[in-house]
Structure 1
Amino acid sequence: MREALAEFLGTALLLTFGLGVVAQTVTSGGAAGSPLGIHLCWGLAVILGVYASAGVSGAHLNPAVTLALAVRRGFPWSKVGPYVVAQLLGAFVGAAVVYLTYREAITAFDGGMRQVLGPHGTAGIFATYPAPYLSILGGVIDQIVGTALLVAMVFAISDERNAPPAASLAPVFVGLTVMAIGMGFGANAGYAINPARDFGPRLFTALAGWGGGVFTAGNGWWWVPVVAPCIGAVLGGTVYDLLIRAHHPAHTNRIGDPARRVE
């Protein structure tokens, strides 16, 4: 229970900060925000969420990360369900907090008529939707690639035999990874790379006035940021392990160490 509570809080903080910057940007018409600000704030949101929960639960904050750790790192399968439920609930609550805070701003922006897409669409504050040009297959590829990059770097940052940062700085580098993914791969579909981050807020919007359109928009896009990140997470973790972890020498060189011959 204590681990699930930590995952709940960490994910709620992640979504509150992350969705908050999107709400501010959208409802101000870009006057109080920018794409760069969104990327920076999401990276900071990850850092803060991880710092809030890492000492208790390990701060997965992402069902895809939890799945990859179960598949590749021996994380107990019995804990996967409680972690995922806690992450989903945390994401839902984070969305609710942002909605409560920005409800009047959203109403001023859309005139009180909750719209999913379009010039006055506001559902994208909470969940991700594909760009008009993006196909479902393209979205699946996008989410697989983004999440594979995330998990490969999470594995690298936490690999004690591969010159990792100090444990106290690990959350910073995870946040920087998310920031880099957003800057490099955010245009197609908003880089959800986290089933809880997308599904929890999407469910909230369905209940809070946007209706079932949040599940039918984008040719039924909703399942892509749920399923594809799970595939990408396992793929990214597997690639890292095959190319790096499986080949660690008996002596691990640290950054700046002279090369040594392994007897």
Structure 2
Amino acid sequence: MATQTPAPAQTYTFQDALGHEVTVAYGPERVVALMGSYAETWLLAGGKLVGTTEDAISERDLELDADTKVIGQVKTPDVEKVLELDPDFVILSPDIEGHLKLDELLGKAGVSHAYFKVEEFEEYLAMLKICTELTGREDLYVQNGTAIAEQIDNVKMQAALSSYRPSVLFVRALSTKAKAKAKDNFVCTMLDELGCDNIAARHDSLLEDLSMEEIITEDPDFIFVVTMGEEQAALDALKAGIQSNPAWNNLSAVKNGKYIILDKDLFHYKPNARWGESYETLAKYLYPQLFQ
């Protein structure tokens, strides 16, 4: 008697960022992403969207289908609009309170949904892997994932040839405040992997408020700034703040042209398939002699 070949699996099961076991039917066609970054990742995996949040357009400028609906802001998605779209898969973030509140509601409605945490490249790669498993587009996992990983590895290997370990101050600036970051940010991860000495790791006070006294004492080789919100307003606030100190122009980074405003597309928003470009851009600033 001939043995029957088992039918291929109809669903894919994985663990999300909240530790939930999530089961989704292969090839979901009515997907809603509640963050522009995740909307882009789903598109990079070859998927289609029926709904996403406003930042996918205002910040990401994604090319969405004409019938893709905007279902609110990233922090305040409209659950009624989400459910009206009859989604078969919803993508959320565990770092946004408004998303966490939807867990029970979506569960009761019988909607497959998953939380993804993406703060650095490896987490993006893991999310892309799951998304391409669902879409059946392994080729796009290679194109937008493993090929980028190879690019990043090459940049890190090249940077490792330098015996110089540059000291850096990384600042995130709003129109109302500016703070240094030492960790829990993908730019900090990249700076660390490229061999930098982040001075904020030694000075907790810089994490709360930029202390010109400590910046002068450390005199970092580089000062990198990423603006949030309206860029010019954030830069004007910096000029009225720490840059108004008479000692500012005597800092080595300022005198040597190493006070650098970073591109928001590469260093504020998650760069996704451009992550390799982000690493390479930083490496060219840090080690110009190695990256001609």
Give the TM-score normalised by structure 1.
Answer: 0.27
Name which structure has the greater RCO, CA cutoff 8 Å, separation 6+: 1
Give the TM-score normalised by structure 2.
Answer: 0.25
Larger Rg: 2
